[in-house]
Amino acid sequence: MIVSALLTSVGINFAICVLYFTFYSILRKQPSYNHVYIPRLVAEGKTKKGNGDFHLDRLLPSTGWVRRAWQLSEDDLLSSTGLDAVVFMRIFTFSVKVFTVAGVIGICILLPINYFGTQIKASDFADIPNKSLDLFSIANVNDGSRRLWVHFCVVYFITAFVCYLLFIEYKYISSKRIAYFHASKPQPQQFTVLVRGVPVSRLGKFSESIGIFFTEYHPSTYLSHTVINTPSRIQSLIEQPAAFVSFKTRYGAAVASDMRQSDNPTEWVTEQAPEPRDVYWPFFSPSFMQRWISRLVVIVLSIVLTVLFLIPVVFVQGLTNLDKLKTLLPFLKGILNITFVSQVITGYLPSLILTLFLKIVPPIMMLFSSMQGFSSYSEIEKSACSKVLIFTVWNIFFANVLSGSAFNQLDTFLEPKNIPMKLAAVVPAQASFFIAYVVTNGWTSLSSEIFRVVPLLSTSLKNCVGSHDDEAPSLPFHSEIPRILFFGLLGLTYVFLAPLILPFLLAYFCVGYIIYRNQLLDVYEPRYETGGRLWPTVHNSTIFSLLLLQTIAIGMFGLKKLPVASTLIVPLLIFTLLFNEYCRKRFLPIFKSYSTESLVKKDRENQNDPTMPEFLEKLATAYRDPALKPNQESAGNHDHRTPLLSSA
């Protein structure tokens, strides 16, 4: 791709963004679109329904929403949207910090060095628009040049800087998570565990045997339990129920969920209960074996999906290599020779098609995760998030990189020792594609995020019919986080290869910061609160990006005939792995469970709270399948709840 093609793509997308933002700022002020642009406020009853009074400034674009989103403090965000949303926004602030520093280094130091190299051809200042973008990448630096040591230093500096920031962030979010727990009111999930694998008793009465078991082994803390009955045919086939067991203290519940209950590790399996609103009721309470097998099946399915997805990826890559296409479809030659058409096709179309294909992946991964036997939406979404992330990195990064230049060599790619060299040979060649991808997929995703095309159309339709539901949607973490993290991976990987990508990424993260803050306030209502459990995914993904950067650096310095630099990257790679291992030990346990210290302190706080007895009484009915509630009383045989509290 040449500079002018890139500029075309940037121009188109910039125009689309401006257009969307303008329309948004007008439509947002129309009360008839409240269900599209401020559904959260509508659901919370914070806005008037109806058309309201008409003012002229309702038709003029404005920037008030930008100022409001910018000025909002983190504490306000926390109180109005929860810790998960705050942690989500920390991905943006973290990325902005990283790519501001990386961008300054990349544009001010690396870009000139690359441009003044002579590996590709002697360069001059004239006719920049027709120059290949490769001139701005490391490919243009002469082999064995001493200037490559600058690139080497940048790899070291960026790794150290990112690790430092990662540590600070992990520490900060850990402390936020603990503070959040300490500030929380008594909540059912803190006092409850989910029990699965209840063994079949002689009498066949599960509810009784659950009561007997917990009265026997947790006499001082056991409170009550609710057997989960999914009145479906599948349930009746399985003959093994789950139950929510409530305890008198948080610590009691935590002990019951942390300790192995039964001599047989596949029976009486306990885990922390999710929030009542977060429970994924159709989870069928399968047995240990069934859950295990379904997990394996889901892994196989995910692999199949990943393999099948290579087909559109290969097709899309055909578009960036126009010459191939001309040979393949000669009748298109006339059209493809028109400059504008070819620029649109090489610069815009490939990533657009990819974007559309990628839209269907998150729902599929959600479906897969829901088959794994998770008991809550949050776990399903977290698992889907990881799946989508791996899928994205593999199918967008690796498949593109390989299909563009070395797809037939996939076989030789499987040899571990060749990976750095191969990556170094093929990754820089895809720089221009990924710049276009950032501009197209990234920028467009932001503008469509704020403009909300699909809800806009459906609401327009409903406006005609006249029916509305007042429910606000929740932020789809599983599709948004992988996309944002993937841009982070692109940035870190290309930071020393093709620094031209960095300003576009920085723009993405800055605008994204404003837009998602705005959406969290106006549009999305949290469906659950995990207390920032998504951060370890972000951390791991960033570590992976660093390792990828270093692996490519090892290969690149080898290719550029600077083997000493290549060898000297290895200690950095080992340092990164050790750093990650340290963080895993230092911070990860905080995101798994709360400590004795926190739990006991919190229990002490509530010891003399006069509202506690009432809360504990309500616990017994906190976990009820909403599908069962209407006919619960009549269908008495479904109601296995123990109505009485056990003796203290």
Q: Which residues bind its own copies (CB under 8 A)?
A: 178, 216-218, 254-256, 258-266, 268, 288, 292, 296, 414-417, 578, 581-582, 585-590, 593, 595-598, 600
Other CB atoms closer than 10 Å to residue 507's CB: what's the count? 20
Measured CA angle at 396 (ends 391, 401), to 5 deg? 130
For its own copies, the closer of residues 22 and 593 by Cβ is 593
Q: How far is the CB of 217 from its own copies (least distance, A)?
A: 5
d(CA 346, CA 328): 16
Q: How far is the CB of 586 from its own copies (least distance, A)?
A: 6
Q: How far is the CB of 511 from its own copies (least distance, A)?
A: 37
CB 427 within 8 A of CB 493: yes
Q: How far is the CB of 146 from its own copies (least distance, A)?
A: 32
Structure letter (DSSP) for residue 192: E
List C-alpha distances in Å: 439 to 21, 46, 352, 503, 534. 16, 36, 10, 10, 26
10 Å CB burial of residue 413 (0-12, 13-18, 19+) is middle
Return phi, psi of residue 274, to 5°.
-80, 170
Per the structure block, which two tokens stand in for 197? 């694998």
Which are the contacts of 426, defined by CB distance < 8 A and separation ≥ 6? 401, 402, 404, 405, 406
Q: How far is the CB of 269 from its own copies (least distance, A)?
A: 10
CB 551 within 8 A of CB 493: no
d(CA 320, CA 607): 67
**Residue 86: half-sphere exposure toward Cβ, Cα within 13 Å:** 24
List C-alpha distances in Å: 346 to 7, 130, 278, 620. 12, 15, 44, 61
Q: How far is the CB of 306 from its own copies (least distance, A)?
A: 18
Q: How far is the CB of 416 from its own copies (least distance, A)?
A: 7
Q: How far is the CB of 387 from its own copies (least distance, A)?
A: 20
For its own copies, the closer of residues 119 and 266 by Cβ is 266
For its own copies, the closer of residues 60 and 299 by Cβ is 299
For its own copies, the closer of residues 85 and 554 by Cβ is 554
For its own copies, the closer of residues 460 and 593 by Cβ is 593
Q: How far is the CB of 22 from its own copies (least distance, A)?
A: 48
Q: How far is the CB of 374 from its own copies (least distance, A)?
A: 17
For its own copies, the closer of residues 16 and 178 by Cβ is 178
List C-alpha distances in Å: 629 to 387, 618, 623. 34, 16, 11
Q: How far is the CB of 572 from its own copies (least distance, A)?
A: 16
Residue of 150, 247, 155, 157 lying closest to 193 (CA atoms): 247
Per the structure block, which two tokens stand in for 93? 């602030």
Cross-sheet strand order for the sheet of 192-196: 222-228, 242-247, 192-196, 269-272
For its own copies, the closer of residues 10 and 242 by Cβ is 242
For its own copies, the closer of residues 262 and 321 by Cβ is 262
For its own copies, the closer of residues 24 and 268 by Cβ is 268
Residue of 447, 450, 438, 561 lying closest to 488 (CA atoms): 438
Return phi, psi of residue 270, to 5°.
-110, 150
For its own copies, the closer of residues 197 and 499 by Cβ is 197
For its own copies, the closer of residues 203 and 414 by Cβ is 414
d(CA 456, CA 470): 15
